[in-house]
Amino acid sequence: MVTVEWLYDRGYVFSKVARQQIPMLMAGVDPGRIAERLRAKAEVIEKSELLTITPAEAGLVESVLRDPVEDRLILTSVSEHAIFGRKGGGDWDRVDFDGAGNIIGIALAPGSRVVWLASGHIDGSADEDSFRGLIGLDHANYQEIYIEAPEGVSFSDITVVEGETVFASDPVGGGVYRLSIEMPLAEKVVAPGIFCSPQGLAVSEDGELLYVSDYRYGIAVVDLETGEVSRLTTDLPLIVDGVDGMWRHGRELIVVQNGTCPMRISAFELSDDGREVIAYRVLEQAHSEWTEPLSGNVDGHRLIYVVNGQWDRLVAGKLASDEAPLPSQIRTLPLDQK
């Protein structure tokens, strides 16, 4: 009952099956008290606007970024092992890379000339020989940069900081790594064994802390000087796990919580030392167009993100035989809302 009340205080919504089963687990507890805590409906918060619809042939779109250098929208496709780009209202162009694996994360540091992509093997397919590592698209000379991941490692989510340093998570092996053009041999920031499946990454404003989201662990705070790993804490009635995509925007972490019920996009305000959530805002929740909000990137004072994930339609790297490819929605969510 304590757990049920804890979840209720944090806005949790139980499924129909759970609402039927939970009272059977609590013999002797007042049924009325239980029923009061089994919330059935979520508050709907819809603040985003539709930016574009992706072409169906882009398949499973995992992330999106607006490249300010060319004012181009770039999509990463897990299933097509490619990216898709569009400038203004023009046609979508497809770009393939020799031997690329699942193209997943995409990131660009402010003022940088290189758009970074993560190429890995996370779709359950038998394609073990695809390229695993980082692919950089250099605007200065239009060259492609390839940096291999350590053997057996698949990069997924990435974030880039000043100096073209890239932090990358491996959701399959469990490690977190740091590498760059000048340091192409990946350095372990967090060795496998602490996290179950690290996902989103963000670096503190002073560059001293790395935030790592993991459904099972919660949000980790990694001291980049000492390597110490601890949990992001809070005294607020707030669920801080269930986080997939994550980005820092000023003093806040912007998080896509597609592992909570209801799914939501939240802003967590950090303490001065960056180790505690001291305030929070729910920016969007239980949107009528969502199937599963995935990843994206902060663009100025808005989040651009993928609305309808299609992981449930993928079987061993391919669409199920009775499924047809679907377009995906890309929406923009203002981050300065009150």
Tell me the per-residue pLDDT of 223-263, one tens digit each, with 9 for 90 and over.
999 999 999 999 999 999 999 999 999 999 999 999 999 99
Mean pLDDT of 255-280: 97
Does residue 9 carry a pLDDT above 80? Answer: yes
Mean pLDDT, all residues of the chain: 92
Residue 146 pairs with which residues in a beta bridge?
A: 135
DSSP 100: B
Query: Which pLDDT does position 321 carry in this prediction?
Result: 62
Query: Which pLDDT does position 125 carry in this prediction?
Result: 78
* Share above pLDDT 90 across residues of the chain, in percent, rounded to a whole number: 80
Does residue 20 carry a pLDDT above 70? Answer: yes
- Give the pLDDT band (50/70/90) at residue 162: confident
For the four alpha carbons of 27, 32, 33 and 38, in that order, the dihedral sign comes to: positive
CATH topology (fold) of 42-334: Neuraminidase (2.120.10)
For residues 54 and 49, what is the distance between their CA atoms, to the nearest angstrom? 15
- For the CA atoms of 158, 161, 167, 171, the dihedral, rounded to the nearest 10 degrees, stands at -30
Query: Which pLDDT does position 49 carry in this prediction?
Result: 97
Does residue 158 carry a pLDDT above 70? Answer: yes
User: Could you tell me the residue ranges of all domains in the chain?
Assistant: 1-41, 42-334
Query: Which pLDDT does position 313 carry in this prediction?
Result: 75
The single-letter code of the amino acid at 38 is: L
Q: What is the pLDDT of residues 104-148, one digit of tens each?
A: 999 998 888 899 999 998 877 776 789 999 999 987 677 899 999
Query: Which pLDDT does position 326 carry in this prediction?
Result: 87
Does residue 27 carry a pLDDT above 90? Answer: no
- Give the pLDDT band (50/70/90) at residue 317: low
Tokens found for residue 159: 């974030």
Q: What is the pLDDT of residues 49-61, one digit of tens each?
A: 999 999 999 999 9
* Share above pLDDT 70 across residues of the chain, in percent, rounded to a whole number: 96
Characterize 20-52 residue by residue with b for buried, 16 or more Cβ atoms within 10 angstroms of its Cβ, and e for exposed: eebeeeeeeeeeeebeebbbeebeebebbeebb
Residues 6+ apart with CB under 8 A from 282: 11, 45, 264, 265, 266
For residues 217 and 76, what is the distance between their CA atoms, to the nearest angstrom? 27
Query: Which pLDDT does position 322 carry in this prediction?
Result: 66
Residues 6+ apart with CB under 8 A from 226: none
Between the CA of residue 172 and those of 125, 133, 198, 245, 295, what are the distances in Å?
13, 14, 8, 16, 17
- Give the pLDDT band (50/70/90) at residue 89: confident
CB–CB of 157/199 below 8 Å? yes
